Amino acid sequence: MRKTAAIVLLALLIFFAASCGAGNGCEATLAASTSTAGYSGGETPARHSETSGEPFQTADSGAHPSETQTESADPPETADCAPETTESGLPETTGAGRSETPDTDVTDGASPSDPDSPETESPDTAVPTKSPDPPAGPDYLVLVNRSNRLPDGWEEEIALLTVENVLGKPVKVEKNAYAAFLSLRAALETEGVYIELDSAWRSVEEQRRIMERFIEEYGEEYAKNTVAPPGCSEHHTGLALDLCLIVDGKVVRLNEEMMRYPELWRIVHDKLPAFGFILRYPEGREEITGYGYEPWHVRYIGDAGAAAAIAASGQTLEEYTGTTVRARRGVK
């Protein structure tokens, strides 16, 4: 018996020695046995790695051991997430090199489509309800007559255009005065009255030639009473226009002939102020202007309001500007 017991004991020792040598761990085996024996239900306790203490990874989890956290750990930050994309599908970058959409003018959190959100002002497209301001340029109220010579340096202040007159000849005229003439002509055509441009700007030398021609054709007395001395003609300004009529398709431009159509000139004169013109030498004001009545001679002053005031009051440009001239007779 004693020999048999010794053999059994020796066999047991060999068995335990073999178990420990197999690497399963005698203590681990004993602990596992006691832990399993005490489990009463629920989830199976997580098994830990024998080397690191980290939870074991199952083959189908898809997670890296470093991404798996214990229950007490905070959720991981997704610092390596893909950048957000814009509406175009392109990634929005930050910092240097960021391509930002310009800020909108929406304030207080209002949406641009919100009817209560502030609206941006649209360009003013309303039709003006008053006469436009006088155009930029020289002094359109400049007074040139027998007593007031053309100001020095005037020709450097004006912008002259070269256009064709009714005879197809080149004529120079101040640009804004010509634009106003075109508008006046178009307005008169709607009433069946047709005008054209005969002459406008003249040089001092040209004025001298006109004086000489009138003296030769009409005599010195008539010429001095009709033609301005060189340097004193309003035509030097480029703002004075001599008009002519088109009657029954024919050009009427000689002074004596144009005087035969007072009714047509009345319609023309009524239209002048709206386009910044005045009748420069009205009938019966010769002692003020120094010239006889010339229905064809109109003057651009640029300001429709001032032109209307002059026409309504019956004033001459001399009276409006506070300047008068001596009577034309005897003036050298």
pLDDT digits (tens, 9 = 90+) for 146-180: 999 999 999 899 999 999 999 999 999 999 999 99
Count of residues for the chain?
332
Position 137 scores a pLDDT of 74
- Identify residue 256 by its one-letter amino acid code: E
Would residue 294 show up in a list of annotated catalytic residues for this protein?
Answer: yes
Distance from C-alpha of 141 to C-alpha of 278, rounded to nearest angstrom: 11
Position 5 scores a pLDDT of 62
Indicate the average pLDDT of the chain.
72
* Domains of the chain by start residue, with CATH: 154-320 (3.30.1380.10)
Position 141 scores a pLDDT of 95
Confidence band of 70 (pLDDT split at 50, 70, 90): very low
27, 92, 205, 294: the catalytic one is 294
Phi and psi dihedrals of 181, rounded to 5? Answer: -60, -45
Confidence band of 28 (pLDDT split at 50, 70, 90): very low
Position 243 scores a pLDDT of 98
Please say if the pLDDT value at position 83 is more than 60.
Answer: no
pLDDT tens digits, one per residue of 242-294: 999 999 999 999 999 999 999 999 999 999 999 999 999 999 999 999 888 99
Please say if the pLDDT value at position 48 is more than 90.
Answer: no
Q: Please work out, in degrees rounded to the nearest 5, the angle formed at the alpha carbon of residue 249 by the alpha carbons of 246 and 252.
A: 35
Position 25 scores a pLDDT of 46
Range name among 41-45, 65-69, 161-165, 241-245 with the lowest pLDDT average: 65-69
pTM greater than 0.85 (yes/no): no
Distance from C-alpha of 237 to C-alpha of 301, rounded to nearest angstrom: 11
Residue 243 structure tokens: 């008009």
Residue 18 structure tokens: 């073999």
Burial status of residue 200 (CB atoms within 10 A of its CB: 0-12, 13-18, 19 or more) = buried
Position 12 scores a pLDDT of 67
Distance from C-alpha of 155 to C-alpha of 320, rounded to nearest angstrom: 24
Q: Are 282 and 316 in contact (CB under 8 A)?
A: yes
Enumerate the β-bridge partners of residue 278. Answer: 299
Confidence band of 6 (pLDDT split at 50, 70, 90): low
Place of tokens 């003296």: 215
Confidence band of 201 (pLDDT split at 50, 70, 90): very high
Enumerate the β-bridge partners of residue 252. Answer: 245
Position 53 scores a pLDDT of 37
Please say if the pLDDT value at position 331 is more than 70.
Answer: no
Position 285 scores a pLDDT of 94
Q: Are 296 and 198 in contact (CB under 8 A)?
A: yes
Distance from C-alpha of 273 to C-alpha of 184, rounded to nearest angstrom: 10
Enumerate the β-bridge partners of residue 91. Answer: 85
SS3 labels along the chain? CHHHHHHHHHHHHHHHHHHHHCCCCHHHHHHHHHHHHHCCCCCCCCCECCCCCCECCCCCCCCCHHHCCCCCCCCCCCCCCCCCECCCCCECCCCCCCCCCCCCCCCCCCCCCCCCCCCCCCCCCCCCCCCCCCCCCCCCCCCCECCECCCCCHHHHCCEEEEECCCCCEEEEEHHHHHHHHHHHHHHHCCCCCEEEEECCCCHHHHHHHHHHHHHHHCHHHHHHHCCCCCCCHHHHCCEEEEEEEECCEEECCHHHHCCCHHHHHHHHHHHHHHCEEECCCCCCHHHHCCCCCCCEEEECCCHHHHHHHHHHCCCHHHHCCCCCCCCCCCC
